[in-house]
Amino acid sequence: MTGYQHLLLFGSVTVAACFLFVYFWPRILLVVYKRAILVKGFGEGPVPVNTLYTEPQAVFADPLRAAPASGSNLMTTGANRDTLLMAGWLDLRNGPQVLHVPDMGGRYYSVQLTDPSNNTNFAYVGKRTTGTAAGDYLISGPGWTGSVPQGMTRISSPNNSVLVVGRTLVERDADVSAAYALSKQIRLTPLGG
């Protein structure tokens, strides 16, 4: 091979690798979140797949001293003092999951459903999109063909893996326990389980 051909080969591979990196960068980032949720947890052990973890009241009330010594620090880095956070990772290969939401009484909350393959949010359940009344939402993976039980709203996920991030507004310091009690009622169950 001549030097020119080497340059051509080298250049093509370089350009391809550069684009691949840019394309996969958001996905690589969310692998860190997957690992934080399913492997490390947030100080109370790993968070099982298809469950929601809720930030403890103590961490919200006193983030500097009550922050967990072990586990991922994703929840306390760049953190906010507005909402109690929830996090979970769904695997829909074995069937849909049902998201149960209590009556939030007008309080701001949102449950963000993120496709981890490209870090875009394909659906929201929450004050802006569905209101604050109680409800059950059926989150189904691609290719699921079952019937939606009465009273449930179907949300179709483009991916069998879903990153779930929940946020419940805390009005003031004295409101943390009320916000926590409501957050804990936002939960996931398997369909028919």
Partner 1 sequence: MTNRTYTFLTAIIGVICGFVIVRSFLFADSLTVRNDLVQGFLVGAGLGVVAVEILARIKATRVNGWITVFGCGVPGNDIFTRAACARIFPGPVNVPQEAMYWKTGVDGAGHTLSGERDFILHFPPGGLPPNDAFWSLTMADAKEHFVANPINRYSVGDRSGLAQNPDGSVDIYLQNAAPAGHEANWLPAPAGRFILWLRVYMPGAAILRGDYTVPPVVEARPSR
Q: Which is nearer to partner 1, 163 or 191 (CB)?
A: 163
Nearest distance, CB of residue 156 and partner 1, angstroms: 12
Distance CA 115, CA 123 (A): 9
Distance CA 133, CA 157 (A): 23
Nearest distance, CB of residue 132 and partner 1, angstroms: 11
Q: Please give the residue ranges that form the binding site for partner 1 (CB under 8 A).
A: 1, 3, 6-7, 9-23, 25-26, 29-30, 33, 62-64, 74, 76-82, 108, 110, 112, 114-115, 118-122, 124, 126-128, 163, 165, 169, 171-172
Distance CA 4, CA 1 (A): 8
Burial class (CB in 10 A: 0-12, 13-18, 19+), 131: middle
Tell me the pairing of strands 53-54 and 83-91.
antiparallel
Distance CA 52, CA 89 (A): 8
Nearest distance, CB of residue 160 and partner 1, angstroms: 17
Nearest distance, CB of residue 97 and partner 1, angstroms: 17
Q: Which is nearer to partner 1, 12 or 189 (CB)?
A: 12
Q: How many CB atoms lie within 10 A of CB 121?
A: 12
